Structure 1
Amino acid sequence: MNITADLPPHPSALLQPDWVKIIRAAASKAEAQGKLLPAQLQLIEEQQWFKLLVPAAYGGLETPLPALVALEESLAWADGSLAWVVTLCCGAGWFGGFLQPQLARQVFSTPLLCLAGSGAATGTATPTAEGYVLNGSWKYASGAHHATHFTANCIFHKNGTPVLTADGQPQILPFIAEKAQVNLVAAWKYIGMMGTGSHAFEMKDVLVSKNHCFKITPDAVVVDSPLYTYPFLQLAEATLAANLSGMALRFIELCKPLLNARKSNSKLNSNQQSVLEAQPETAVALMNDARLHFYKAVKASWLNAAAPELLKAVSITSRHLARTARECVDRLYPYCGLIAAAPDTEINQVWRNLHTASQHSLLTFSE
């Protein structure tokens, strides 16, 4: 495997040590409470991480994709739950490039801004003279406890019947609503990513004005910037894969002292000791090879997002990175001993977070 100078730095290079300390010191308690803690949220607010993809015109950071995925990988190395909330909530901020300016300025000037939501079309929108009436329920809204606004996909209805597109499919468009218009439903009961508070939410006969409906198609871009003409699919794939990469790198670090300790066991023969010696280095090499191709693909597509083959490369390398992260961790896990299965240890938390996050449908298949 040829790892060149193009390989991005280790995730620790992008985070100040005191940031990492704040994030990790609260990780276990965030799991117990099912949401990020005030110290973590204060750091996010200070660094404007929820505004990473908000247009600069509205006070956001409008971060280029290569820098975004590198930061999100770093945050996932620090803690998977915090990184996932930042990734999903700042990802919703990307919609700012498509909102009408008057509404966008209102939304993004909100104190302690945080956008949560769902891409599933499990709601309905019925047009009225005043705007739209929204009904439905949506799952997996990461960061729901901290959200000031929610975005949700809805199927257009008229006279109780779905409106169909020209090709006979239900017409689906996203909407944005304020937190006060949404009811949270406690539903996140999975083994990992417990600190994300990725609960469900519902809306019942919620009236929103017409400008709360928007499109994310190329012809609907309001903010003239490369960030908002970059396809949402590859943006989502890349940011999610970067999270898994960061978690896997942290797992490899945490397993090294465990394997070193096991090597001193007199019951192991030389071959077994050699296996323990080689496993972490092999995992690092595999991860760095996958990271190298991933970051090259992201950078190339960012410089020329109009090239279909470059975008396809992002999809392929994102999935490959996600698969490599899972496989490297699973290859190491049996050698770590029972401590890796103890739920009150960081290595087990990382293992649970990675295996929960990797169930995201965008990362399931190779292509």
Structure 2
Amino acid sequence: MPNSLNHPSTLLKPEWVELIRRHAPEAETLGKLHPEQLELVYDQQWFNLLSPKEYGGLGTPLPDLIKMEEALAWADGSLGWVVTLCCGAGWFGGFIDPGIAQQIYRDKQACLAGSGAPTGTATIIGDGYIINGSWKYASGVHHATYITVNCNIIDGDRPVLDAKGGQLILPFVLDRADVRLISGWKYIGMIATGSDAYAVDNLYVDKNRCFEIDPAAAIVDSQLYTYPFMQLAEATLAANISGLAVHFIDLCKPAFDFKATNIRRVNAVNVLVMNEALQSATALLNQARESFFEAVEASWNNPKSEALLKAVSNSSRMLAKIARETVDELFPYCGLLAASPDTEINRVWRDLHTASQHSLLTFLD
């Protein structure tokens, strides 16, 4: 491993990791984070990693953020993903009306969740809007105090167009009490994210609930809120997939040892093959991780460079691809232990293969 690249575990206290992993099986049963996991998240302000310092958030620079998110995903995939998506929604605090933002972050357990899909409508009425619609896949929605929605803006019965002549789509921030949850997260992995759907029916909101995600529209004066949203999203998701892959690789050694000592057909030659595969996969993943971290750091130091931003996109997608491929190369050597849904290694495998389906990281340019 290169000297500049640390294992994700170096960012977390051992007692945090023990607590997170001890409650991970029950969190799957609950379909959301376990209360003790959630209490740790609140204590460490992980939902506020990207929230503005002006409102009591941490305002974490992106290079530091992705390393912490990788570490949390390494501790547990669902917890890392919920923190990433909810603190990502907390990033919107840099664009939300200050009066509303102060109201949101007055709560020390503030948590924003939402969906980026424009599957709702906001019809202009007086000084506000009437919102209708339903949205899927809102990770952490069961812990949310506020929920964001993307809406097609409508004036009467006509769509409002943006500057390019397309449908104008804008986000809104809503009180959790005004949103109806819909059970809908039924996938093999990331079960404890509770990424259920939600709906809003004929809800009136004032115009100050609407905001715009654009560097020129940032209300908080900080580089964090002028860094492009696309690369921020790609990098934070890739960091989670990387953390999951590192966790899987960590679990391979004990799985290989168990197989070598309990299955008669596994001889010394087979053990050598498994160990060489493990070393090769570890080196390949770490190379991709280092390239990824370097790309994010470079773009953060020069966020106006289109070439450096493109490198973040490319390295994020490449890291996700290599994480999937290295895990899948090692999986057959892990035996039935890795195929049992009751084992930690299987949960990590399921989480990685669910998280890596995210459309932002599917295709290489």
Question: Fold-level match, TM-score > 0.5?
Answer: yes
Describe how 1:183-262 pairs up with structure 2 within 5 A: 183-262=180-259
TM superposition shift of 1:169: 1.3
Following TM superposition, by how much is the alpha carbon of 1:269 offset from its aligned partner in structure 2, in angstroms? 5.0
**Aligned-pair CA distance for 1:6:** 2.7
Match of 2:45 in 1: 48
- Is the Cα–Cα contact under 8 Å of residues 124 and 156 in structure 2 kept in the other structure? no
Task: Find runs of 4+ consecutive structure 1 residues off by over 4 angstroms.
Answer: none
How do residues 336-351 of structure 1 correspond to structure 2 at under 5 angstroms? 336-351=334-349
Contact 1:97 1:223 in 2 (8 A): yes
Name the counterpart of 2:317. Answer: 319
* Equivalent-residue separation in structure 2 for 1:111 and 1:6 (angstroms): 35
Aligned to 2:333: 335
Contact 2:216/2:226 (<8 A) preserved:
no
Q: CA RMSD in A?
A: 1.1
Amino acid at match of 1:326: R
Amino acid across the alignment from 2:335: G
Letter in 1 for 2:84: T
Asked if residue 155 in structure 1 is aligned to residue 152 in structure 2, the reply is yes
Residue 162 of structure 1 and its aligned partner are, at CA, apart by 1.7
Report the alpha carbon displacement of residue 332 of structure 1 after superposing the two structures with TM.
0.5
User: Which aligned pairs between 1:57-76 and structure 2 lie closer than 5 A?
Assistant: 57-76=54-73
Query: Alignment partner of 1:110: what SS?
Result: coil
1:43-122 matches, within 5 Å, as 43-122=40-119
Aligned to 1:358: 356
Distance in structure 1 (CA, Å) of the matches to 2:23 and 2:258: 27
SS in 1 for 2:187: coil
For the 8 Å contact 2:260–2:267, the answer to whether it is kept is: no
Pairwise CA distance, 1:108: 1.1
Give secondary structure in 1 for the equivalent of 2:310: helix
Instruction: Kindly indicate whether the alpha-carbon contact (under 8 Å) linking 1:50 and 1:114 is maintained by their aligned counterparts in 2.
Output: yes
Q: Any unmatched runs of 5+ in structure 2?
A: none
| CA displacement, residues 255-312 of structure 1 (integer Å, 9 cap, x when unaligned) | 1112123334553455433211211111110111001100000100111101111100
Say if 2:129 is the partner of 1:135. Answer: no
Of stretches 273-282 and 197-206 in structure 1, the one that deviates more from structure 2 is 273-282
Q: Give the conservation status (yes or no) of the 8 Å contact 2:52–2:220.
A: yes
What is the alpha-carbon distance in structure 1 between the residues aligned to residue 215 and residue 340 of structure 2? Answer: 48
Q: Which amino acid aligns with 2:295?
A: A
Q: Sequence identity, in percent? A: 58
Name the count of aligned residue pairs. Answer: 364
**Residue 38 (1) aligns with residue 35 (2):** yes
Task: Between 266-275 and 241-250, report the one with greater CA deviation.
Answer: 266-275
The DSSP-based 3-state class of the residue aligned with 1:273 is helix
Q: What SS does structure 2 have at the residue aligned with 1:256? A: helix
